[in-house]
Amino acid sequence: MEDILLQLHSAAPHEKTASRSYSWNNRTRTPPGIIFQYTWTGVGTLHRDGRSVPCPAGHALLMLHGEPTRYSFEGPPTEPWAFAWINFTGAESLARRWVAAHGNVLHLAENGDTVALLKILTRGYAEKTFLDRYHISELLARFLSALGRELAAGRTIARPRAHQIRDHLQDHHRRPLNLKEVAARFGFSREHLAREFRDTFGEPPGHFLRRLRLTTAKALLRTTRLPLGEVAVQSGFGGQAHFCRAFRSETGQSPAAFRAEKKPPANRPGAKPARRAQ
C-alpha cells in the first residue's frame, strides 16, 4: 500500500530572495523528485537547452530531479522573487509527460484550484497539521488532478514575452529602468527585445516607455503644483533637463507652458461668486 502513496518531502508557503547567488541545478539532484514552484511576485528564470524563460507572477515551474534545467533569480535586488514550493515524489512519469507537452513554465491563475491546493499543502507542511501520510497523499493527488485539468483546458499557455515585457514597463515606468537589464530579465538581448517589441506593437520599447512617462507627467502637471524636477523624478525621467527636452519634443511646448494652459481659472481677488441659477 505504501508503494502507491504520494510523498511530500519539503515545502514552503512563502519564500523570498533578492540574491543573484540563488541558483539551483536540477541536473545534480538525484531522482526521484518533483519540484513545483509558484511565483507570487517578482520574476524567476528557468534555464534549459541554452534558453532562458522567465517565471513571473502567475506562473509556476514544474521540474524533475536529474533533468537538464536550472532556475535562478536574476532580477534587481529592489524587486525580489517571492514564491511557494513543494518537493514530492510518486508522480514522476506524469510530471515528465506534462513537461514534454507544456514545458517547465506554466501559467496558472492565482485563484484557481491548483494554487488553492498548493496553499493547503505548503501551510500544512509548515504548521504540521497533516493527519498522517495518507492525508498528505490524498492532498497531493487532488493537487495533481487540479493541475491536470488546467493543463487539459489549455489555460497554462504563458503570454508571449513581448506582452510580459509591456506589462512590466507599464507597472514600473515610474522607476529608473535600464532596457538592457529588462531584456536580460526576460531572456532577451537588448537588440532582440527591441526587434520583437517593435514587431509586436509597432514601436520600439524606448518610445513606448517615454509615452508612458509623459502621460504620467501630464497628469502630475494638471493635478499638482510639484516643482518640475519632482514631476520628472515621479514620472521616471532621469532629471529635469531630460524631462523638459522629451516633453517639448512630444508636445511642442514646455512643461511650464502646458501647466499654465491647463490650470483652471481662479476667481479674481474680491470678486463675488457667481449667482447660482434658481
CATH code, domain carrying 227: 1.10.10.60
Q: Which residues of the chain have pLDDT under 70?
A: 1-3, 155-159, 187, 262-278
- Residue 123 and residue 170 share a domain: no
User: Is residue 71, in this structure, part of any structural domain at all?
Assistant: yes
Name the grid cell of 269.
Answer: 481677488
- Residue 195 and residue 125 share a domain: no
- Residue 96 belongs to a domain with what CATH number? 2.60.120.280
Q: Which domain holds residue 96?
A: 2-152
Question: Which has the closest alpha carbon to 144: 66, 86, 104, 101?
Answer: 86
Question: Which has the closest alpha carbon to 108: 77, 148, 160, 67?
Answer: 148
Instruction: Please say whether the beta carbons of 140 and 96 come within 8 A.
Output: no
Helices 240-251 and 255-262: crossing angle, nearest 10°? 60
Cα 72 to the center of its chain, rounded Å: 15
How far are the Cα atoms of 3, 121, 177, 243 from residue 249, in angstroms, in the given order? Answer: 70, 55, 21, 10
- Residue 140 and residue 167 share a domain: no
The pLDDT, as a whole number, for residue 268 is 45
CB neighbourhood size of 29 (10 A): 16
User: Is residue 117, in this structure, part of any structural domain at all?
Assistant: yes
- Residue 187 and residue 140 share a domain: no
pTM above 0.85, yes or no: no
Q: Which residue has the cell 517639448?
A: 248
- Residue 141 and residue 23 share a domain: yes
Domain end residue (candidates: 104, 128, 152): 152
- Residue 225 and residue 138 share a domain: no
Domain end residue (candidates: 109, 134, 152): 152
Q: Which residue has the cell 506593437?
A: 201
- Residue 103 and residue 141 share a domain: yes
User: Is residue 125, in this structure, part of any structural domain at all?
Assistant: yes
- Residue 135 and residue 18 share a domain: yes
- Residue 176 and residue 125 share a domain: no
Domain end residue (candidates: 152, 175, 202): 152
User: Is residue 268, in this structure, part of any structural domain at all?
Assistant: no
- Residue 108 and residue 43 share a domain: yes
Burial-class residue 229 by CB neighbours within 10 Å (0-12, 13-18, 19+): middle
Domain count, the chain: 2
The pLDDT, as a whole number, for residue 4 is 74
The pLDDT, as a whole number, for residue 264 is 53
- Residue 126 and residue 11 share a domain: yes
The pLDDT, as a whole number, for residue 172 is 85
Instruction: List the strands of the sheet with 51-56, edge to edge.
Output: 23-25, 69-72, 43-48, 51-56
